[in-house]
Structure 1
Amino acid sequence: MDFFFFFLVNCLLCLFSFTFLGFLARKAANNQTPAAKLPPGPARLPIIGNIHNLGLNPHKSLADLAKVHGPLMSLKLGQVTTIVASSPAVAKEILQKHDKLLSDRHITLAMEAGDIHKFGLPLLPVDSKWRNLRKVCNSYVFTPRKLDSNQDLRREKITELLEGVRRNVCERPGEAVEVGRLVFKASLNALSSTILSMDLADEATILSMDLADEATSEAARQFKELASGMTHEAGTPNLGDFFPFLAKFDLQGIQRRIRVHMEKALNLFEWLIDQRLRERKSESYVSANDVLDTLLAINDDAENREEVHMDLQRIKYLFLDLFVAGTDTTATTLEWAMAELLRNPKALTKLKEELDQTIGKENHLNESDIPRLPYLQAVIKEIFRLHPPLPLLLPHKAGVDVEIDGFTVPKGAQILVNLWAIGRDPMIWDDPNSFTPERFLGSEVDARGNHFELITFGAGRRICPGMSLAYRMLHMMLGSLVHWFDWKLPSGVKPEQLNMKEKFGVTLQKAKPLLAIPTLR
């Protein structure tokens, strides 16, 4: 049931008189920066403002509006003033030049579910709690030394992924596999092996937590549903966000549904932490030297509490951040990458040839090989450009009035950076809608927050702390799948006919899962 049906029905059944709404709108307007100072934007309807302009795919609708009104644009979504950046120059102003003033988060109702906005690193205001969590991530979780020391674990999980595909080829030759599910399981196990020294996609683990509806459910599928459910609900337009006085009613049930997903995941992490605490009390316990042991040691070490503090509540929510962000976005990006390669056989062949010549047909890909594979790197960058996992990033909030290009971004405004629009801008990219990895060969542009035409992981102080791990995983998984198997679409599906429709949410997923047939090379 789409958003606009909800909007009309709820307006008719649950809303108030137009007089009352008009009063609230005028009251809010009296407290706003004068409209003349706001960036340009589309005309607004009474009461709803520009909600009708969002459409079912807001990233595309906002990109079209930016072509008319410019790369710095303002809209009124109900009672919420929203500023949209759609060019590298404006994104740089927001995420770098005025980073300190515009780095707070605009918290939606979905983000309040489960109190994640009070504990989750991506949503906390830039304060001492946030700085503490960033320090933990940068000093204990995602350091180059830590990532290097765990690369054998990641390679083991990728080998298990390849073995699973090989087994499918041998046992069910000619049968298509669901690519997204395969890579999600591998990324979940790679991450959980590093953090928890276990495979979280082990069915017995999830079943013991009573997270399954049926005894035959697969653990990886269950966790994928939790992660996808949270990101989908968080990205669904919510009446309570547009009209704050409706927040307590949860008319669309978004808070209720996301809270169910979140509680299941938090209960799982709490159970895993408690289990480790019991193990650590044993005299025979040998440290697993994983992220969980490191964080528990910090929690136990009184000397470190002044400098770095991690209680059990913070650990639980940090795991929620890491697993939801790290698995869903990785699997989504890999699925888009495989889809684009299958739609573009020449690019797929070119990638195979690079892998064969550089790695050798009988050798496995290692993380140390990535710098020697420029075309593989170019493919990943091109996927970031065409299919950014977070098309609008996470919304920022202006802490004070800020002037950009002669216009005012008013205090309290929601700020969106439209990566999808930047990636498809013909003023920046030649033939922007085509999949052309060659555009990045010999280019210095990367996705590490330095080049604002490709800021997949954000930029400034809010840049994703797990960027380095994601970078390694994406290249290893895609390169390995292409190196060891030939892939083709199911019978009757031509490359140019492959369904590439998107399902909008916080993450931009394929509307229809990719099915592909592997054969041994």
Structure 2
Amino acid sequence: MNMSIITSPSIFTLILFSITLLLALALAIAICSLRSKPKGLLPPGPRGWPIIGNLFEMIMNRPTHLWIHRVMKDMQTDIACFRFAGVHVIIVTSCEIAREVLREKDEALADRAESYSSELISHGYNDMIFSPYGESWKLAKKVMVTKLMSPTTLNKTLRDRTVEADNIVTYIFNLCQVGSTKSSVQVNVRDLALTYSHAVMMRMMFGQRHFDVPAEDGGLGPKEREHMDAIYQALDGFFNFCVADYIYCLRGWNIDGEEAKVREAIDILNRCNDPIINERMHLWRNKDGKEREEDWLDTLITLKDDQGKPLFTADEIRAQCKNINVATIDNTMNNVEWTIAELLNHPEILEKATNELDMVVGKGRFVQESDIPQLNYIKACSRESFRLHPSNAFMPPHGAREDTTLAGYFIPKGSQVLVSRQGLGRNPKIWTEPDVFKPERHLNDYARDSMGVTLMEPDMRFGIFGTGRRGCAGTKVGTYMTIMLLARLLQGFEWTLPNGASQVELIAAETNLFMAKPLLASAKPRLAPGLYPKIQI
């Protein structure tokens, strides 16, 4: 053995530092555990190790969400407590308990769980989605609801959404013309959904479709794709169960490799967003080139407080823009891709959906947002996909601001409460034939409702936008984007399986619940060629 290696000062220092760190870590967790000794009966959960609880099992059973649901199924419980180091993580798969979380105990559970990824995405908790419950959060939520998502603003941004709805059908139409003499071509449905979602978000937020050089074919340019990939990488980091999220002193060490990915993603988002934000702030605050509000960024910059000073700092505006980045893309993309996949496997349902479009809209014009209230079967198809195929296994975690109870169990202050989208949507206690794609079940729910089918689910039988204080502020724009994209794709094209395929494999990815492989399908125009407009860059 080479003794020089053992006696090397640098190696010795590293070993000594590691031992010291582990002892300090064990002591910190032990103290934290003693301080948070339960005052009542916790929800049932798997037996844990001293000090670290179930942290070892969390690390060894990836993806963690599958292990959590497997444990709860074996225990036959709809509420469970997992202890990751000094943090109690409460999982809920029952609609009754979910309503208790988001309604009766809403204020007590209105905090957000701190994490390395959420701090980076929110620019130091300067946003609405990830910041703790308090006055700053209330102000950000008020601005989002009354300014950015108000009926007046949504009407003003209607043209942005309509332009991109036109662009996406023309983009596919052009692919069909170039790709085959028979006017039919195999397309990547996920790519189409991402193109539309990103372009709509960009127009509403920044008033422009591209960061720099436009893509002439109507698709996304390289910088837009980099931006979009970074959004999904940041979201994956947020929804992952990372060791450092439960042991604060390990944050920033990149213990499991996830922190470096999140840092890279946020760097890309900042590199794309910041030049636009900085230039726009200069225009408004120096009054040398901007006279009226045209997009969400203008609104955020021009808002004033009671003293006439800017309501938001530059960092708060940056954080809100990243909020909009991560909140407006994943649901629409994921839902539309899964819905088209399910419809291809159920041709009779696909026929019903296109028949509804022909009856409500006809074939002489494209569907518009004003048609959405009458497209109940289309919305039922979308709801059923949200039930079966959410974008992530859990809703964003709620943090307990005080000691409270759920389903009669004690929930200590500082606990994280996660409502399971997966557990609700496929719970046999809630749904008959929970694994079957059956849109009609949603028509029955709304048979006596004069408002028709909506994408809201206040009874929490599955999770889309959530409800309560932490509910999504953009439910209307989320509905518009999702249903418009789905309806335009179904109205504008005949969709069939690729050559040689008998059905679509409905397999979810492991890190999130997107389709494991992007959906490929054959598209053929079904309307008169003259209806497809030119691409508007």
User: The TM-score by the shorter chain falls in which range?
Assistant: 0.7 to 0.9
Please say if residues 93 and 424 of structure 2, whose CA atoms lie closer than 8 Å, have aligned partners that are also in contact. Answer: yes
The counterpart of 1:457, out of the listed 442, 465, 484, is 465
Give the Å deviation of 1:73: 1.1
- 1:286 offset after TM fit, Å? 4.5
Q: Secondary structure at the match of 2:303?
A: helix
Which of 59, 62, 76 aligns to 1:56? It is 62
Query: CA offsets, 1:426-471, max 9 Å, x none?
Result: 1111100111111100314854352221331111100011111010
1:124 aligned residue: 131
How big is each residue's C-alpha offset from its partner over 1:150-172, in whole Å with a ceiling of 9 and x where there is no partner? 22221111110000000000100
- The two structures have a TM-score, normalised by structure 1, of 0.87
Q: Which residue of 1 aligns with 2:151?
A: 144
Indicate the larger mover: 40-49 or 259-268: 40-49
Following superposition, the deviation at residue 83 of structure 1 comes to 0.8
The answer to whether the Cα contact below 8 Å between 2:29 and 2:52 also exists between their aligned partners in 1 is no
Alignment of 1:297-376 (within 5 A): 297-299=302-304, 303=307, 305=309, 309-376=311-378
Is the CA contact 1:188–1:201 (under 8 Å) kept in the aligned structure 2? Answer: no
For 1:314-346, what per-residue CA distance to the aligned partner results, in whole angstroms no more than 9, with x for missing partners? 111111110222123321222222222222222
Which has a greater percent of helix? 1
Distance 1:20 1:272 in 2: 45
Indicate if the aligned counterparts of 1:40 and 1:69 stay in contact, CA closer than 8 A: no
Distance across 1 between alignment mates of 2:167 and 2:523: 16
Query: Matches of residues 135-284 of structure 1 in structure 2 within 5 Å?
Result: 135-173=142-180, 174-200=184-210, 203=213, 218-280=222-284, 281=286
Give the Cα–Cα distance (whole angstroms) in 1 for the partners of residues 442 and 106 of structure 2: 28
1:168 & 1:204 partners in 2: Cα distance?
18
Letter paired with 2:187: V
User: Are 2:519 and 1:514 equivalent residues in the alignment?
Assistant: yes
What is the match of residue 83 of structure 2? 76
Whole-Å separation in 2 of the counterparts to 1:131 and 1:386:
33
Deviation at 1:295, TM superposition (A): 2.3
Counterpart residue type for residue 483 of structure 1: Q
Q: Distance in 2 between matches of 1:322 and 1:58?
A: 27
What is the match of residue 9 of structure 1? Answer: none
In structure 1, the partner of 2:4 is none
The TM-score with structure 2 as length reference comes to 0.85
SS in 2 for 1:442: helix
CA offset at residue 289 of structure 1? 2.5
SS class of match (1:340): helix
Match of 2:489 in 1: 481
Distance 1:154 1:439 in 2: 30
Measure the CA separation in 1 of the matches of 2:358 and 2:369: 16
8 Å CA contact 1:59, 1:420 repeated in 2: no
Q: Secondary structure at the match of 2:469?
A: helix
Give the deviation of 1:312 after TM superposition.
2.4
Higher mean alpha-carbon deviation, 396-405 vs 251-260, is at 251-260
Is this contact kept in 1: 2:399–2:416, CA < 8 A? Answer: yes
User: Paired residue for 2:110?
Assistant: 103
Question: Cα distance, 1:231 vs. partner?
Answer: 1.0
Instruction: Classify the secondary structure of the residue corresponding to 1:516.
Output: strand
- Aligned-pair CA distance for 1:53: 5.8
1:253/1:170 CA distance change after superposition, 3 Å: same
**1:109/1:255 contact within 8 Å kept:** yes
Most deviating of 483-492 and 159-168: 483-492
Q: In structure 2, what residue type is equivalent to 1:145?
A: T
Tell me the secondary structure at the aligned position of residue 119 of structure 1. Answer: coil
**Residue identity opposite 2:38 in structure 1:** P
Which residue identity is paired with 2:245?
D
Partner of 2:474: 466
* Structure 1 runs not aligned, ≥5 long: 1-12, 206-215
Please state how far the C-alpha of 1:136 moved relative to its aligned partner. Answer: 1.0
What is the RMSD of the two structures over their aligned residues, measured on CA atoms?
2.7
- When residues 285 and 345 of structure 1 are mapped into structure 2, their CA distance, relative to the original with a 3 A threshold, is same
Amino-acid identity (%): 26
Alignment of 1:448 onto 2:456? yes
Letter matched to residue 297 of structure 1: T
Say whether the 8 Å CA contact 1:188–1:200 is kept in structure 2: no
Report the 3-state secondary structure (helix = DSSP H, G, I; strand = E; otherwise coil) of the residue aligned with 1:490.
Answer: coil
Counterpart selection for 2:119 from 112, 120, 141? 112
Distance in 1 between the 2:384 and 2:64 partners? 22
Report the AA paired with residue 62 of structure 2: L
Give the 3 Å change call, closer, same or farther, for CA 196–227 of structure 1 in structure 2: same
What letter corresponds to residue 298 of structure 2 in structure 1?
D
The residue identity in structure 1 corresponding to 2:158 is Q
Which residue in 1 is equivalent to 2:100? 93
AA aligned opposite 1:456: I
CA change 1:203–1:436 in 2 (3 A) is farther
Corresponding residue for 2:294? 289
Higher mean C-alpha deviation, range 420-429 or range 246-255: 246-255
Matches within 5 A, 1:408-427: 408-427=410-429
The Cα shift of 1:195 comes to: 2.2
Q: What residue in structure 2 maps to residue 501 of structure 1?
A: 508
Displacement after TM superposition at 1:201 (Å): 6.3
Q: Deviations over 1:78-112 (max 9, x none)?
A: 33211111111111111111111111011122222
Amino acid at match of 2:479: Y
Q: Does the Cα contact within 8 Å between 2:424 and 2:463 map onto a contact in 1?
A: no
Q: Is the 8 A contact 1:184 1:220 kept in 2?
A: no
CA distance in 2: counterparts of 1:159 and 1:14, whole angstroms: 59
Report if aligned partners of 1:185, 1:201 keep a CA contact under 8 Å in 2.
no
Name the CA shift for 1:36/1:44 in 2 (closer, same or farther; >3 Å).
farther
Amino acid at match of 1:462: R
Contact 2:122 2:130 in 1 (8 A): no
Deviation at 1:200, TM superposition (A): 3.0
Aligned-residue offset at 1:125: 1.2
The separation in 1 between residues aligned to 2:393 and 2:165, in whole angstroms, is: 27
- Distance in 2, matches of 1:201 and 1:428, equals 45
Change (3 A) 1:164 1:204: closer
Per the alignment, residue 44 of structure 1 pairs with 48
Tell me how far apart the structure 2 counterparts of residues 336 and 152 of structure 1 sit (CA, whole Å): 27
Deviates more, 1:81-90 or 1:26-35: 26-35
CA distance in 2, matches of 1:70, 1:187: 38
Q: Distance in 2 between matches of 1:519 and 1:362?
A: 17
**Is the CA contact 1:72–1:83 (under 8 Å) kept in the aligned structure 2?**
yes
Which of these two proteins has the greater Rg computed from alpha carbons? Answer: 2
SS in 2 for 1:176: strand
1:134 is the counterpart of 2:141: yes
